[in-house]
């Protein structure tokens, strides 16, 4: 039978780290969107870059932010389950 357990304080710290990193990715997205929107750049290379940004880079960063937030939620859920099991 597998062993189940965890250090509650470490799990809380891990959740906080995932939350913080999710927020940092959100900040990166905001900054990049702003900079891209305020930068004059024309031509085929600019069009290719903007297309790649919209189709690849931005969605990947959005998914990363979402997945970090979901991981934080799951860590909190597992921590709470361990806490209840130990009560």
Q: Is the pTM of this model over 0.85?
A: yes
The per-residue pLDDT for range 9-20, each reduced to its tens digit, is: 999 999 999 999
CA distance 49 to 41: 10
Residue 71 vs residue 4, higher pLDDT:
71
Q: What pLDDT does residue 3 have?
A: 74
In order of their start, the domains of the chain are: 2-86 (1.10.287.1060)
Residue listed under structure tokens 């932010």:
65
Give mean pLDDT, residues 11-34.
Answer: 98
């Amino acid at each position: 039978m597998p062993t189940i357990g965890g250090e509650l304080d470490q799990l809380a710290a891990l959740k906080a780290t995932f939350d913080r990193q999710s927020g940092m990715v959100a900040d990166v997205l905001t900054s990049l969107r702003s900079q891209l929107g305020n930068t004059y750049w024309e031509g085929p290379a600019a069009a290719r870059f903007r297309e790649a940004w919209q189709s690849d880079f931005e969605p990947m960063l959005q998914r990363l932010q979402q997945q970090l937030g979901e991981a934080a939620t799951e860590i909190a859920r597992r921590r709470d389950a361990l806490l209840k099991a130990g009560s």
